[in-house]
Amino acid sequence: MDATLPRHVAIIMDGNGRWAERRGLARHAGHREGIPVVRMCVEECLRRGIGALTLFAFSSENWRRPAAEVSNLMTLFVDALEREVPELHANGVRLAVIGDRHALSVRLQSRVAEAERHTAANGALRLQIALSYGGRWDVVQAARKLAAEVAAGSLPAASIDEARFGAALALGGLPDPDLFVRTGGERRISNFLLWNLAYTELWFTDTLWPDFDVAAFEAALAFFAGRDRRYGLTAAQQGGAASA
């Protein structure tokens, strides 16, 4: 395996609203313009053999946006799923939604369930869309799940370790992201994958999401390839070599 290539990339797709406002367009136009960029990232991951991609599309906090924007975004997600799933499936992509899916409309929930079922056997790329997702929500839902098993007597509390806890999180058995990308200029994690980003390399760009292109994706990968990942060890312990 190529150690200079991330196995899992996680992206906060930020800047759609500003992209639209700068052109005198409604914010929704920026969200719509973000869809081909998602497609480009999927294609690049497939082409390069990156096995997992996780995209932050709608946070737990985004519900507080104006009702019209929330409603437009939900319609966009339903339409995007309907339109894109056949091609994703044809390319061997396994799609999953992570987040508090019960907060989504019944229509979106059923589209998500159908897309997940349809693509479940695929293995070329694991694509996670975070919808109504928050890192704190994720930690709490994992804690609740484990607490219920302890209360039912099926899980000894002492057997809860980092691996067991990690498995109860939304990303479950996936490897942690190696590379995190945030577009739009902010230098924050913003309640994305709090547990899973512990050792992730963080890359930020001022580029707004609709302008994020192949060259920008390559710049993020080049940044990652140049990192020396030590996981708390010294360079000498690692033989001074970059390691994934």
Distance between CA atoms of residues 82 and 95, nearest Å: 13
Q: How far is the CB of 104 from ligand FPP (least distance, A)?
A: 12
Distance between CA atoms of residues 129 and 111, nearest Å: 13
Q: Which residues pair with 180 in a beta bridge?
A: 10, 202
Site of tokens 């999927």? 42
Residue 146 or residue 210: which is nearer to ligand FPP going by CB? 210
Q: How far is the CB of 81 from ligand FPP (least distance, A)?
A: 7
Q: Give the chain's radius of gyration (CA, Å).
A: 19
Q: How far is the CB of 56 from ligand FPP (least distance, A)?
A: 8
Among positions 6, 34, 99, 134, the unique one binding ligand FPP when judged by CB under 6 A: 34
Distance between CA atoms of residues 35 and 107, nearest Å: 20
- Torsion on CA atoms 17, 22, 25, 27, rounded to nearest 10: 10
Residue 74 or residue 168: which is nearer to ligand FPP going by CB? 74
Among positions 7, 9, 14, 108, the unique one binding ligand FPP when judged by CB under 6 A: 14
Tokens of 226: 């140049």
Nearest Cα to Cα of residue 55 among 81, 27, 29, 90: 81
Q: Is 206 marked active-site? A: no
Q: Which residues pair with 182 in a beta bridge?
A: 12, 204
Which of 16, 62, 138, 228 is flagged as catalytic?
62
Single-letter amino acid, residue 162: E
DSSP string, 105-137: -HHHHHHHHHHHHHHTT--SEEEEEEEEE-HHH
189 sits near ligand FPP (criterion: CB under 6 A): no
Q: Is 122 marked active-site? A: no
Q: How far is the CB of 234 from ligand FPP (least distance, A)?
A: 39
Which span sits near ligand FPP by CB under 6 A: 10-18, 91-99, 135-143, 215-223? Answer: 10-18
129 sits near ligand FPP (criterion: CB under 6 A): yes
17 sits near ligand FPP (criterion: CB under 6 A): yes
55 sits near ligand FPP (criterion: CB under 6 A): yes
Q: Are 200 and 179 in contact (CB under 8 A)?
A: yes
209 sits near ligand FPP (criterion: CB under 6 A): yes
Which of 14, 16, 72, 138 is flagged as catalytic?
14
Tokens of 181: 């990308």
Residue 62 or residue 238: which is nearer to ligand FPP going by CB? 62
134 sits near ligand FPP (criterion: CB under 6 A): no
77 sits near ligand FPP (criterion: CB under 6 A): yes
Interface residues toward ligand FPP, by CB under 6 A: 13-18, 31, 34-35, 38, 55, 57-58, 62, 77, 80, 129, 184, 209
